[in-house]
Amino acid sequence: MKKAITLFSIFFTQSSFGASIDEAVESAVGPITKALSSAVFFEINFFGQAMPLIVLWLVTAGLFFTIYLGFINIRGFGHAIRVARGDYKEPDADGEISHFQAVSTAISGTVGIGNIGGVAVAIGIGGPGAAFWLFFAGFLGMSTKLVECTLGVKYRIINQDGSVSGGPMHYLETLLAESQLPKLGKFFGGFYALALVIGCFGIGNMFQSNQAYVQFVNITGGSESFFNERGWLFGLLMAFTVGIVIIGGIKSIARAASRIVPFMGILYFISSLVILILSAEHLIDSIILIVSEAFSTQSTTGGMVGAMIIGFQRAVFSNEAGIGSASIAHSAVQTKEPVSEGIVSLLEPFIDTMVICTLTSLVIVSTAYPAGLMDSGLEGIELTSAAFAYHISWAPYPLAIAGLLFAFSTSLAWSYYGLQGWLYLVGDSSGAQLGFKLVFCGFIMLGSTIQLTAVLDFSDAMVFLISIPNIIGLYFFAPSIKRELNLYLKKI
């Protein structure tokens, strides 16, 4: 056994092995990925700046639903907190998890490495003004989340064993069936499910384990770390830990998420707050800089339009409002009122984008700019880590722990999303469930060992591609959602 493990270690630590797989995958998948990405992230000229059309598609939906539903992201916020904390609990309702567990699971799927490193990239490209538009886009995304999560609960399927199946594949199929287009409904449902399965292995699996491994090596000694060049071992441990949780289904995932999400959120909030207190002399100037740069007409980063595009792009990549994935987790909630869970989902973009991403933005602008770190050549999570370390040398450690938790919790949520897509395609059976979970854990180990850029890019493109049929469905359902929302608010 020891000899087998040694051979396994040597096999996976050979750089030539990783490089050969990367080259093989790149040559096979690269051309397809390039064509798909070019189509999905097609750029248009937006007041002199290049803007991905898919970003405009998602942000426009957020703006529409915010206005159409009478700024429900403001009106419903207080009620969302009351429902999430259990004030309207319905013990006899169908469902598997509580409101708090549902929103925790959904948040765990969106709060990831991008909240730490992606924000730094956005500010580096779009300037401080990008932070303002990131915040604003998060505000708009709250309304989109409400619509898709309400639909997720309304059109969910309660299985014979009491388990729940829900999400865009179900409500898109129902929409088109009601419009006398059942075959087209099945096609869109199947397409969404297939894209979700492919996407879950990239955005919610390999990328997360790869970034978690990099973070873990950095805080355990870097090149001197025992785990350096042993990505397979870290991946195996992470896969085992994720496997223990996901084997128990949504109830197990929700229990874990309801503990991890508050802990990692509080840890990151306190860490950021400490750095902001130490940078208090620059804080007011930083806020003024963010707002002024957001509306600047001239800037090396493209001025107002450039900052807006980058901020919007980072926001939609972060909270995934309009993609529909979160509605799968929210569908499992125990409630008789679909709108109640839609209102709870307002908290998701608020926490993910308006709180965590904004904290990261303020730390970077109030620390990295005065310290000259923006010209140091650092970018992404390295820049954020350097900003945290400016005042306290050991500050990157709690940051790294938060990053590890972000990656772990994201994998948990996306394993459930992918599983629901898989079961929609092949049917619900214990064998199908177990097989998917084993493959998912296998990809976690693979992700921490090698970087399959082409696969990750392909999965990202597929995830954003499904926002097209999803948002079309949301527009069709908008009048009925508005009626149900108004009736619900009158009842409470």
Instruction: Supply angle C-alpha 252, 254, 258, rounded to 5.
Output: 120
Largest Cα–Cα distance of the chain, in whole Å?
Answer: 69
Q: What CA–CA distance (Å, rounded) separates 86 from 81?
A: 9
Q: What is the model's pLDDT at position 488?
A: 92
Strand partners, 97: 333
- Cβ-based neighbours of 200, under 8 Å, separated by 6 or more: 414, 415, 417, 418, 421, 440, 459
What amino acid occupies position 95?
A: G
Per-residue burial over 237-248, b if 16 or more Cβ lie within 10 Å, else e, is ebbebbbebbee
pTM for the structure as a whole: 0.86
Q: Choose among 109, 107, 106, 103: nearest CA to 81.
A: 103
DSSP 331-378: TTB--S-HHHHHHHTTHHHIIIIIIIIHHHHHHIIIIIHHHTGGGTT-
Q: For position 331, what pLDDT does the model report?
A: 92
- Structural domain spans, the chain: 35-491
Closest of 109, 83, 105, 87 to residue 96, by C-alpha: 105
CA of 412: how far to CAs of 270, 291, 443, in Å? 24, 36, 13
Yes or no: say if 340 and 83 are a contact pair by the CB < 8 Å rule.
yes
pLDDT digits (tens, 9 = 90+) for 30-65: 677 778 778 877 888 877 777 788 888 888 999 999
Q: Is the dihedral angle over the CA atoms 202, 25, 436, 252 positive or is it negative?
A: negative
* Residue 3: per-residue pLDDT: 45
Helix axes 99-110, 396-426, angle to 10 degrees: 110
pLDDT tens figures, 341-396: 999 999 999 998 899 999 999 999 999 888 787 777 777 777 888 888 888 888 88
pLDDT tens sequence for the chain (492 residues): 444 444 444 444 444 445 555 566 566 656 777 787 788 778 888 777 777 888 888 889 999 999 999 999 999 999 999 999 888 888 888 888 888 998 888 888 888 777 787 788 888 888 888 889 989 989 999 999 999 999 999 999 888 877 888 899 999 988 878 777 778 888 888 999 998 898 888 878 888 888 788 778 877 777 777 777 777 888 888 889 999 998 888 888 888 888 888 888 888 899 899 999 999 999 999 999 899 888 876 655 556 777 777 777 777 777 888 889 889 999 999 999 999 999 999 999 999 889 999 999 999 999 988 878 777 777 777 788 888 888 888 888 888 888 888 888 888 889 999 999 999 998 877 788 899 999 998 888 887 777 666 666 777 787 788 888 899 889 988 999 999 999 999 988
